Structure 1
Amino acid sequence: MKSLKPSLHEIQDRFTKDVLYGEVVGSTSDCGVIRLGVDAEAKISVESGALRFAPLDTPGWGRQGIAYGPFTAQAGLAFGVFMLNGHNNSQTFSQPLEAAQHPSRRQPHPSLKSPFKAHFSSTLLQENLAVGWFDHPAPARPLEAGQAFVMQGHPIANGRLCAATVQGLQHLLLDMPNIPIYFLSVLRAKGVIFYAGSSAGHRHLPALPRLRPLAIDPYDLGTPVLYAGIHQSILGENGGQADTRVYGVRVVHVPEWQGYGTALIVDPQPQLGRKAALGGVWRLEGPGMLLTPREPGGLFHVRLTAPASLIWRYRDPDHHLALELSRQEVRLHLRYGGKTYLLASEPHPYLTQDPHWVQVLDDGQALNITLDGSPLFSEKPLHEPRLGQETGVGLKGQAADLEVHPREINLPPALELGHPWQVKGQQTVFVPHLNQAAENLLLTWEPTMGPGALMPAEGGLTIEAAGLERTVYTIPWEQANFADLECEILPPEKNGKRQAQSRAGVCFWQDAQHHLVVALSLDESEHAVVAMLRLAGYEDPYSKVWTHVPDKLYFGVPVRLRAVCDGGQFQVYLDDEPVLYRALRDIYPGADRLEIRRVGLALSGYGRDTGSIFRAWVARK
């Protein structure tokens, strides 16, 4: 075994060789370094070119994770991880702990319509993933022992991305779809800066190889030796399970990030008339002292002592945003066209003269603002597109330790670990006019599975009398290795006491024993997109994969569901936004490719459908 003295300076692990469950910790990585960590239940493996974390029987920190190191802490040392979390909203099971510890004793959900709804009545563990730098290869409490990205469960959204910092948990982005993410954490002379990127169309993150600066921790852990780690505490919700997959890990020193890195402005002690450490000379203009960087800021991090203000998106004295911290409250103002608008306010609970850390994430359309790590005004982003391209940054009152970083940066080539699979069909094959249903159109769709009857409906087609059984209507498909299916679905409206439900979607069909259904799952308690895979006649109801989409799926409002599959993996979109990705082997290890012989319309069978209408359909290859 290689020596563990703190002499490592570079790691690359692409998981090219399979490793059995329970044998990953202590195995040799692609670059010859021993993988460290903890695998209390022998649930970690390497398979099909990716690390796999299977769900723990007994959830908890300090039981599952891998690590690399030790490393001597130095400015510019970067840790990149390209991965797919099992479910961003994983959290403690609401069932008794005994059932969670013994999966064989689990009782099926009463209707199987929703074995993945979030319940917080007995939540003991909300954070499910930690990726970053730690003071130990297997920390018992990684949120207290590291500076790392953290994924946190949420009662209504699909998980919240946070950062574990020396001062506590920093909230970053709410509602993270279940698609691959590249996490990057970079050590600085003091502290850590965090970046992330994902697929094109992600609601919060740019498409790789672009990254978004997301957080700054200005403090050190206080140890000269660190470990780069990925740690999991729980996977799944209320019995539903999904494995985490890690595609690549990289640790490398980036010389150009030893100093100010990607910053546009840096100044520990801003002062009028003095040159900032980076960004120019502070000048007096309008409401305060000002700098004008070369591009709009996306990450603002500053320490304010009330009364004080952070000013940004500054064009002139009559056009800018200002966050004002007083001894009684925090107020967000927009100055536009010579008028001042109060966008949000919140009482300030602190009456002392202590300084407070303010962080603003600004993508030009929406703002995420935190005070000492906690969300200000709202958990959700504040939509504000006005002045989105203005670059001026200003301060008023007592401020220190200002940093401004751009909205996006380029991932250095030395840190590249691949890109998300995101292929779309380029040639349209079949576009029936569903809103002009006639007998010959109904004959186009062949009954393939289930008792439901395909019938004309107002503006399209509907599948009636399916009950709780899966129903599929399909057409032949000649491109056996690829299909891109898009349909517009109108979920039923609420109608008095009648419960409205939608289970409508699309199907990639090989035969009755092998097929993939991607469908809506909409009822009074759930707004989700789910994917159900049947292989060799086997379909585990607890192995469905899904994403909560509470802000994209409504009763009586049409939505475009698009699913693309190449037989080995699939990507799902709602109204062009990517919301769900999986490889078939992510669901069932060792799964063979699906040969797509037919494609069509479907009701999933996991719950009733009370009248969803298929209003449009496009099949592409």
Structure 2
Amino acid sequence: MKSLKSSLHQIQDRFTKDVLYGEVVGSASDCGVIRLGVDAEARISVESGALRFAPLDTPGWGRQGIAYGPFVRQAGLAFGVFMLNGHNNSQTFPQHAGTPHRSSRGRPCPNLKSPFKTHFSSTLLQENLAVGWFDHPVPIQPLETGQAFVMQGHPTANGRLCAATVQGLHHLLLDIPNIPIYFLSVLREKGVIFYAGSITGNRHLPALPRLRPLAIDPYDLGPSALYAGIYQSILGENGAQADTRVYGVRVVHVPEWQGYGTALIVDPQPQLGRKAALGGVWQLEGPGRLLDPKEPGGLFHVRLTAPASLIWRYRDPDHYLALELSPQEVRLHLRYGGKLYVLAREPHPYPTQDPHWVQVLDDGQALNITLDGSPLFSEKPVLEPRLGQETGVGLKGQAADLEVHPREITLPPTLELGQPWQAKGQQTVFAPYLNQAAENLLITWEPTMGPGTLMPAEGGLTIEAAGLERTVYTIPWNHPNFADLECEILPPEKNRKRQAQSRAGVCFWQDAQHHLLVALSLDETEQAVVGLLRFAGYEDPHSKVWTQVTGRLYYGVPVRLRVVCDGGQFQVYLDDEPVLYRALRDIYPGADRLQIRRVGLALSGYGEDTGSIFRTWIARK
């Protein structure tokens, strides 16, 4: 290990030079610094301008990851990673300790939702990714010896974003789509603060170069020498596996973040009439002592000892939100127009006189509230748009170590690692009226693959009698390097006699040996959007890419599926929300660009479709 005298000061790695599998650890980064880490199965490579983590045969921590360092701990040292996780819901079911559950391919068979149907605990959830600061270049238990972002599998959602802190795992955001994310963790005088950003339309995170403050760990990890690392434990979910891609890494000192950084309010010991360390003088008004920052807070972090309250979105004594911590219960209430509305309540999980850390994430529409890192009231956020633009922040009772950060910040230029690909068609090329006479249908739509028959249906078109075979109907396309396809799909209603299923979607077609299909996957066990690539006649069912969309896809409720593809990568939207992104080379390394010669509507063939109706269809360039 390097001495502290030879510790690094900064890193920039954009993975511009290809490196063979098994040779990344020990290779030189773009800035000349040697990449550290572990690659027990020779599954890490650099290809097409990005680091690649391929799935492990034997999952577990301490087997796959890269690191940079050591770095001397200093306030304002920031670690940024721009990446696409293989699948945010990657997880495995532990059969016995140390015995991976394997599929017929010899790789771990990521489970299989059945064990999670009725109940689950931390022993059944599997954290799959850790990105942040660690005490060793190859931590055996990174969640216990690091301060880092962590992605955690979940029984019903598409993964949960957490933070590994000194005191344990802190839950942040539930249901993270499989799209690129920028993770940023910044060292402070004491502890770490976490930020993240993504692409336009993400329900949780702002579009780069904007970032959302997400968590604060007020404690130090311990060692004065730290390593910036990215570690993977497992890749795969429901029998499908995809590689993780890292587009860039940056470690740099940000001088303006040495002190209070992006905070609006900081006060270790809030007292009435005294000036806060940052944020002004505490004034008595209405429910407690108050400050009025210049903009609404998005991250609130404070230590409360019951009975005590955190107050925010404060306008006046008749309009505000408050989280009340009493010895008996925790209660979230809204005072609006002088009336009191109890939004949520539950018994106090720790009925003692000890202080407890409260954190609130507030984007103006939804509230994610935790007590000592665990979700309060529900795993899902509390939806509350009222008073969303109010700025007042207050305290009542015994409180300490208050910190408030804005809802968004701008990423400093020194930490930029490029923008995610996100294109949309600007000109409509084809928007047929689908509810037309049957004899006109085949003039427009040509049968291109499969046995199904395109038929009129109430309000649109349906593909009948396809069974379990892929069926594609297309039109010619004269723009081989770009297509933007959008359709409104009405999944079938539930039927007592027959299980309702939907496999309807869109297709980007070069020929029978090369095409991309993106479709719904709705049945009694799954609500998902799936991407299927056939290249050189090869299509591995285990290499499908998908994202779970529980709560956004229902029987008998129309949904808009939009897919944009430039032949090298594609982005999927469901009702305008980005839910899935992949480059073709992420699925099959070395895959050439797809020449889009035809576009159309399709059934995936991965399960039966029992009557989905295509109600609208638009093609843009």
Superposed pair shares fold, TM > 0.5: yes
Counterparts of 2:462 and 2:611 in 1: how far apart (Å)?
6
Q: How has the CA–CA distance of structure 1 residues 47 and 106 changed in structure 2, closer, same or farther, with 3 Å as cutoff?
A: closer
1-structure distance, mates of 2:324, 2:490: 45
Query: In the alignment, which residue of structure 1 is the partner of 2:455?
Result: 455
Mind listing any 5+ residue stretches in structure 1 that lack a counterpart? none
Contact 1:299 1:360 in 2 (8 A): yes
Would the alpha carbon gap of residues 118 and 201 (structure 1) be closer, same or farther in structure 2, given more than 3 Å must change? farther
What TM-score does the superposition give when structure 2 sets the normalisation length? Answer: 0.97
The answer on whether the counterparts of 1:170 and 1:373 sit within 8 Å (CA) in structure 2 is yes
Are the aligned partners of 1:116 and 1:236 in contact in 2 as well (CA < 8 Å)?
Answer: no
How far apart in 2 are the matches of 1:118 and 1:185? 36
Q: Which residue of 2 aligns with 1:582?
A: 582
Aligned pairs for 1:390-429 within 5 A? 390-429=390-429
Task: Identify the residue that residue 445 of structure 1 maps to in structure 2.
Answer: 445
Counterpart position of 1:239: 239
The residue aligned with 2:153 is: 153
CA distance in 2, matches of 1:351, 1:334: 24
Secondary structure of the residue that 2:105 maps to in structure 1? helix
CA distance in 1, matches of 2:115, 2:618: 37
Q: Which residue matches 1:104? A: 105
CA contact (8 A) 1:4 1:69 kept: no
Per the alignment, residue 540 of structure 1 pairs with 540
CA drift of 1:354 comes to 0.3
* Deviation (angstroms), 1:125: 5.0
Aligned to 2:370: 370
* Alignment partners' CA distance in 1, 2:272 and 2:240: 57
Q: 1:102 to 1:572 in 2, by over 3 A?
A: closer
- Matched-pair identity in %: 87
Distance 1:106 1:169, change over 3 A: closer
1:494 counterpart = 2:515: no
Alignment of structure 1 residues 607-618 onto 2, 5 Å: 607-618=607-618
Tell me if structure 2 keeps the 8 A contact 1:182–1:196: yes
Contact 1:57 1:102 (8 Å CA) reproduced: no
Q: Which residue of the partner structure matches residue 281 of structure 1?
A: 281
State TM-score, norm by structure 1.
0.97
Contact 1:471 1:603 in 2 (8 A): yes
Equivalent pair of 1:93/1:239 in contact (CA under 8 Å): no
Cα distance in 2 between the residues matched to 1:94 and 1:227: 29
Cα distance in structure 2, aligned partners of 1:98 and 1:142: 20
Shift of 1:551: 1.2
CA drift at 1:239: 2.5
Count of residues in Structure 1 that have an aligned counterpart in Structure 2: 616
Matched, 1:120 2:121: no
CA deviation vs aligned residue, 1:229-275 (integer Å, no higher than 9, x gap): 00000000142100000000000000000000000000000000000
**Shift of residue 3, structure 1, vs aligned partner:** 7.9
CA shift in 2, pair 1:320/1:500, >3 Å: same
Matches within 5 A, 1:521-532: 521-532=521-532
Report the Cα distance in structure 2 between the residues aligned to 1:94 and 1:330, rounded to whole angstroms: 35
Q: What code does the residue aligned with 1:104 have?
A: R
In the TM superposition, residue 101 of structure 1 has moved relative to its aligned partner by 5.3
One-letter identity of the residue aligned with 1:193: I
5+ residue gaps, structure 2: none
How many angstroms apart in 1 are the aligned matches of 2:478 and 2:463?
25
- The aligned residue for residue 190 of structure 1 is 190
Paired AA for residue 287 in structure 1: P
* Structure 2 counterpart of 1:45, one-letter code: S
Q: For 1:575 and 1:401, locate their aligned partners in 2 and report how far apart those are by CA, in whole Å.
A: 41
Cα distance between partner residues in 2 of 1:310 and 1:300: 9
- Matched residue of 2:314: which SS? strand
Q: Give the distance between the partners of 2:111 and 2:279, measured in 1 at CA.
A: 53
- 1:118–1:156 contact (8 Å) kept in structure 2: no
Superposed displacement of residue 443, structure 1: 2.1
Q: SS in structure 1 opposite 2:116?
A: coil
Superposition RMSD on alpha carbons, in Å? Answer: 1.8
5 Å-filtered alignment, 1:232-271, equals 232-271=232-271
Query: Counterpart in 2 of 1:345?
Result: 345
Deviations 1:570-606 (A, max 9, x none): 0000000000000000000011100000000000000
CA–CA separation in structure 2 for the residues paired with 1:162 and 1:412: 24
Contact 2:93 2:111 in 1 (8 A): no
Q: Tell me which residue corresponds to 1:133.
A: 133
SS at match of 1:586: helix
Residue 17 of structure 2 is matched in structure 1 by 17
* Distance (whole Å) between structure 1 residues aligned to residue 99 and residue 126 of structure 2: 19
Give the distance between the partners of 1:346 and 1:413, measured in 2 at CA. Answer: 44
What SS does structure 2 have at the residue aligned with 1:439? helix
Matches within 5 A, 1:225-236: 225-236=225-236
Structure 1 equivalent of residue 382 of structure 2 = 382
Residue 371 and residue 441 in structure 1: after superposition, are their counterparts in 2 closer, same or farther (change >3 A)? same
| Contact 1:445-1:473 at 8 Å conserved across structures | yes
